[in-house]
């Protein structure tokens, strides 16, 4: 359910207020039942909360939200809209639990609501985010993040590092691995012969060495190696036009070299904000972690502490994340 002080419990409750979700899967919230009940109450949802101590004891019936109740944070300690160490530690414990359940085969897939990196670290959990937690706890060396909004899909060579370090991480083995992971997940999505575009790192892909050497030295060999295995990869291609081609249907996914190169265009497509009403009219898109031994999807937005407790959160991304996790779980 994500950070208790953010919008995670609210979007979980709102998503499970949809009968269609129960036709796709058997949803179970992992967190604190009291806090989910609080979200149901302040949103005025006509839902019951059913606490359980293991997945097998849940009933999975629409109208009652099943919560695997870890009792990590009492309602009296809840501080909506605030970063606290206790809430950060609780959010980490929720994630640890679902990863363990998935590795044990007790659940088929996992979907994460947003956490606060500041709260996480204040609680003594030294991770940059969900993706890194999943990589560490599943002991996965090679993993990557994919953002998806419909047919607009982007994977990343690096994510939560400084821009300076991101440039240093553009190495042929890593670029090749991300191309392969992208190809594999597209096949799981029933795309028979995926077309993958690989973005350049530097402006105009270095313009023949005028703006750096990484594109020619590191990315070109990775693309060639991928093509030698039969993967339909192209690149490096200039990032300033590449995403328009992705949006137009020329490719099935783009491999971006760093966090903002991939995140900005994806969120420009999926997020719509109206300044006149101060409302996010659309928050669409899903975050996937590729390369793991378990299924993990997530919302593509943060904790929105400024909206916590107001029943103003849009559950669209959570709904999409649940649908994709159900799809991938069936094909895993």
Tell me the C-alpha distance between 200 and 180, whole Å: 17
- Residue 247: count of CB within 10 angstroms of its CB: 17
Give the pLDDT means over successive 10-residue stretches in the chain (332 positions): 97 97 97 98 96 96 97 97 96 97 96 95 90 93 90 93 94 97 92 96 89 94 98 96 95 97 90 79 81 94 93 93 91 58
- Residue 24: count of CB within 10 angstroms of its CB: 15
Gyration radius from the chain CA atoms: 20
pLDDT for the residue numbered 110: 97
What is the set of domains in the chain, with CATH numbers?
Answer: 8-140+292-331 (3.40.718.10), 144-267 (3.40.718.10)
- Residue 165: count of CB within 10 angstroms of its CB: 11
Residue 7 contacts residue 307 (beta carbons within 8 Å): yes
Residue 183 contacts residue 249 (beta carbons within 8 Å): no
Tell me the C-alpha distance between 156 and 217, whole Å: 19
Cβ-based neighbours of 197, under 8 Å, separated by 6 or more: 233, 234, 235, 237, 242, 245, 246, 250, 251, 253, 254, 255
- Residue 33: count of CB within 10 angstroms of its CB: 21
pLDDT for the residue numbered 200: 97
Tell me the C-alpha distance between 221 and 215, whole Å: 9
Residue 298 contacts residue 332 (beta carbons within 8 Å): no
pLDDT for the residue numbered 129: 84
List 271's β-bridge partners, or say none: 283
pLDDT for the residue numbered 332: 54
Tell me the C-alpha distance between 44 and 282, whole Å: 22
């Amino acid at each position: 359910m994500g950070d208790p002080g953010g919008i995670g419990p609210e979007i979980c409750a709102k998503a499970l207020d949809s009968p269609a979700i129960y036709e796709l899967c058997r949803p179970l919230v992992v967190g604190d039942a009291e806090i989910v009940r609080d979200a149901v109450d302040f949103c005025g949802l006509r839902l019951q909360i059913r606490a359980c101590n293991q997945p097998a004891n849940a009933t999975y019936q629409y109208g009652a939200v099943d919560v695997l109740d870890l009792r990590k944070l009492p309602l009296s300690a809840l501080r909506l809209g605030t970063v606290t160490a206790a809430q950060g530690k609780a959010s980490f414990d929720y994630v640890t639990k679902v990863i363990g359940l998935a590795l044990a085969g007790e659940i088929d897939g996992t979907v994460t609501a947003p956490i606060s990196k500041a709260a996480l670290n204040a609680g003594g959990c030294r991770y940059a985010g969900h993706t890194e937690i999943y990589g560490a706890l599943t002991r996965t060396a090679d993993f990557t993040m994919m953002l998806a909004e419909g047919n607009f899909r982007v994977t990343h060579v690096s994510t939560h590092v400084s821009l300076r370090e991101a440039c240093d991480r553009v190495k042929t083995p890593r670029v090749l691995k991300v191309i392969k992971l992208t190809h594999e997940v597209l096949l799981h999505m029933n795309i028979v012969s995926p077309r993958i575009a690989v973005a350049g790192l530097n402006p105009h892909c270095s313009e023949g060495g005028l703006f750096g050497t990484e594109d020619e030295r590191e990315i070109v060999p990775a693309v060639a190696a991928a093509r030698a295995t039969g993967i339909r990869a192209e690149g490096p291609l200039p990032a300033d036009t590449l995403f328009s081609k992705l949006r137009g249907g020329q490719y099935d996914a783009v491999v971006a070299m760093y966090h903002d190169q991939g995140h900005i265009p994806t969120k420009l497509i999926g997020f719509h904000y109206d300044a006149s009403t101060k409302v996010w009219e659309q928050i669409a898109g899903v975050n996937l972690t590729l390369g793991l031994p378990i299924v993990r999807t997530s919302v593509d937005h943060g904790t929105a502490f400024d909206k916590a407790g107001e029943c103003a959160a849009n559950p669209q991304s959570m709904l999409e994340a649940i649908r994709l996790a159900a799809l991938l779980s069936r094909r895993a």
